[in-house]
Structure 1
């Protein structure tokens, strides 16, 4: 994209009455941002949804002054710009009707051919949430997913830190311009995040972390991800808004169940109860529902992804990976175990979440 076209795109964003949906409609009709401003008002008026308010504002001189100021900031701060029609734009986000026309980013973000998941939750993360998040990311690490979150207190920053510890790319989607960091106490994490991924936003350098910006930010977190995981949440909170947006975008949502008496499990339990989220008890649940291919991974990866299996259990698991599913009697015969022993082994494996029973005494590996 040329600097001139970027200038006009920035100007378009400052026209009152033009949001992301209207901007895309105008771009589709006129062919480019520059062409929008050079099209006669009578022709623009023929576009569905374009009214007198927009037409009056599109000729406002101040929008060009603001666009030039932001363009200067971008150029002097090594900000990366991604247009929604470009190949480098997050693929899943392209399919969201209200996705940003422009994304501003810093760091070393690479989303090509990557599994992308978002991890969100309460700012008051408990030891239970921290332990679950740690185990989840460690177990998913062999599959090299990108971990997306909002760089906020609690679950967000824990997810970013754990991604870095496991050498995974992580992206902080922020609710303000890239000239600042919120919360300020998280400045100490900026360098490592940018080394292992980076920051992304739709907001200009003039934008502060205002309350309404966080809701807009959440749609990027939900839209760019294959799945959204809620680790912990009270019965109300921003992570539940993200989960609802993910559902609206037809993305998979997962929630970690907790005790009914725990304040920061109520939101997750309600998501599960109302069938707005899949139950997430371990990494295997995620891998199975998202249909990620792990059959060609090494045995050591399989163990890390699921759980440590006893030698006899590993023998059964390897057999079921090859066959897909089989009868309990056949498993006993092929793996050379007596019937009285096989039932106990299968039960233990089922409790570990690595196999599941099917009708007709069949079992299959997860």
Structure 2
């Protein structure tokens, strides 16, 4: 019977399909590689077109779905997209005259630079919260999953000794706790933040306002090399794009988006750091500030942020407690999965108790049994975890993880 054939491995309907010939398999793999390379070139071409900003590019991709479809679209279809006029239509239709994607890829290969496509596993997940997230990100170094636990540290280029000291101190403490420090490689506060994270042996990400081949300021090229070895240097601009004034506000949105919170260390009342703080607020990310002397012009912006509702920060614990739970668990560089950055400051006993507590109601007796710790130690640890807002008491005998 046919049923017997299926269960006995006979020659009935259960027979496996014939193996795909090796030459055909190689052919399909080659086609897939070609398709991937074409998608990469199309994405590069579109993202590097002159006059096409990230917001209009996002609108085009929303309508056409794929960079290749945008480049092949007819004039009337392109004109139907908000923000697209005749001049931009002409640029898109003659894209090959404006962009050399293969030249860019060759430069990246020669300079150990990755091209991260939006939608790929390597693309930073936090950037997807931007309506105008770049479709292509150039990266020296490596972006890791643990970089989702990140805090931006920004401030004035004309930092005082006080500001430099506070930026380096806070970056060192955050990096030591396992938090990635994000900043913009500028003089002053940015450089101090990167250096503090590097000194701690932690991770740091620099977001540039120009191309990876045009490090600005030039004297920070060695710092950029160190960051690439211990984190990543990233940019949405073509590798040879020289930094211009309008690029830095555009860069700031990436700094805010790559971070769970933005910490402003020292900023006067007219500062790009305040733009980053505002963008962080628009993304529903926390805005933090270190206060400065009321007589210091360099701290007017930070003190005003605190007056307007930013969280006043004095220590790394203030930062970790503010960040709150994340939308999904993230694996740290040492292999732990955490749901809240405040977990980074836990000792071994506190972590072991927390891991025994579920998001649903968990009996304290079960926590005691699973942790194999003395009851009095578990009860004391539960009180600590509750104060740190990592768990909540549901009743006298039940707790749950936040």
Q: TM-score range by the shorter chain?
A: 0.7 to 0.9
Partner of 1:139: 173
Partner of 2:312: 279
- The question of whether the paired residues in 1 share the 8 Å contact of 2:156 and 2:298 is answered with yes
Partner of 1:194: 228
**d(CA) in 2 for partners of 1:269 and 1:54?**
43
TM-score relative to the length of structure 1: 0.77
- The question of whether the paired residues in 2 share the 8 Å contact of 1:178 and 1:205 is answered with yes
Following superposition, the deviation at residue 76 of structure 1 comes to 2.8
Partner of 1:298: 347
Partner of 2:12: none
TM-score relative to the length of structure 2: 0.70
Following superposition, the deviation at residue 139 of structure 1 comes to 3.3
- The question of whether the paired residues in 2 share the 8 Å contact of 1:90 and 1:224 is answered with yes
**d(CA) in 2 for partners of 1:8 and 1:72?**
15
Residue 9 and residue 63 in structure 1: after superposition, are their counterparts in 2 closer, same or farther (change >3 A)? farther
For 1:35-54, list aligned pairs within 5 A: 35-54=69-88
Aligned residues: CA RMSD: 3.0
Partner of 1:169: 203
**d(CA) in 2 for partners of 1:131 and 1:45?**
52
Residue 270 and residue 100 in structure 1: after superposition, are their counterparts in 2 closer, same or farther (change >3 A)? same
Following superposition, the deviation at residue 150 of structure 1 comes to 0.7
For 1:215-364, list aligned pairs within 5 A: 215-275=249-309, 277-291=310-324, 292-294=341-343, 297-298=346-347, 321-323=381-383
**d(CA) in 2 for partners of 1:227 and 1:296?**
17
- The question of whether the paired residues in 2 share the 8 Å contact of 1:81 and 1:104 is answered with yes
Segments of structure 2 that go 5 or more residues without pairing to the other structure are 1-34, 325-340, 352-376, 390-402
SS of 2:100's partner is helix
2:199 aligned with 1:151, yes or no?
A: no
Partner of 2:54: 20
Residue 103 and residue 61 in structure 1: after superposition, are their counterparts in 2 closer, same or farther (change >3 A)? closer
* Structure with max Cα Rg: 2
**d(CA) in 1 for partners of 2:251 and 2:181?**
16
What are the Cα deviations for residues 202-251 of structure 1, in whole angstroms up to 9, with x where unaligned? Answer: 11123112111111111111111100001111121111111111112221
**d(CA) in 2 for partners of 1:203 and 1:184?**
17
SS of 1:171's partner is strand
Residue 193 and residue 65 in structure 1: after superposition, are their counterparts in 2 closer, same or farther (change >3 A)? closer
**d(CA) in 2 for partners of 1:135 and 1:15?**
41
What are the Cα deviations for residues 159-187 of structure 1, in whole angstroms up to 9, with x where unaligned? Answer: 11110111111111111111132111122
Following superposition, the deviation at residue 153 of structure 1 comes to 0.9
Partner of 1:343: none
**d(CA) in 1 for partners of 2:292 and 2:388?**
21
Following superposition, the deviation at residue 88 of structure 1 comes to 2.3
Segments of structure 1 that go 5 or more residues without pairing to the other structure are 303-316, 327-352, 356-366
Partner of 1:364: none
- The question of whether the paired residues in 2 share the 8 Å contact of 1:174 and 1:201 is answered with yes
Residue 54 and residue 271 in structure 1: after superposition, are their counterparts in 2 closer, same or farther (change >3 A)? same
**d(CA) in 1 for partners of 2:378 and 2:292?**
32
- The question of whether the paired residues in 2 share the 8 Å contact of 1:295 and 1:321 is answered with no
Residue 279 and residue 321 in structure 1: after superposition, are their counterparts in 2 closer, same or farther (change >3 A)? farther
**d(CA) in 1 for partners of 2:269 and 2:146?**
36
- The question of whether the paired residues in 1 share the 8 Å contact of 2:153 and 2:262 is answered with yes
SS of 2:234's partner is strand
- The question of whether the paired residues in 1 share the 8 Å contact of 2:61 and 2:70 is answered with yes
What are the Cα deviations for residues 253-299 of structure 1, in whole angstroms up to 9, with x where unaligned? Answer: 10111221112111100111122x21111112111111333388217
Residue 49 and residue 185 in structure 1: after superposition, are their counterparts in 2 closer, same or farther (change >3 A)? closer
Following superposition, the deviation at residue 6 of structure 1 comes to 1.8
SS of 2:57's partner is helix
- The question of whether the paired residues in 2 share the 8 Å contact of 1:171 and 1:198 is answered with yes
For 1:64-83, list aligned pairs within 5 A: 65-83=99-117
Partner of 2:130: 96
Paired residues in the alignment total: 315
Residue 146 and residue 87 in structure 1: after superposition, are their counterparts in 2 closer, same or farther (change >3 A)? same
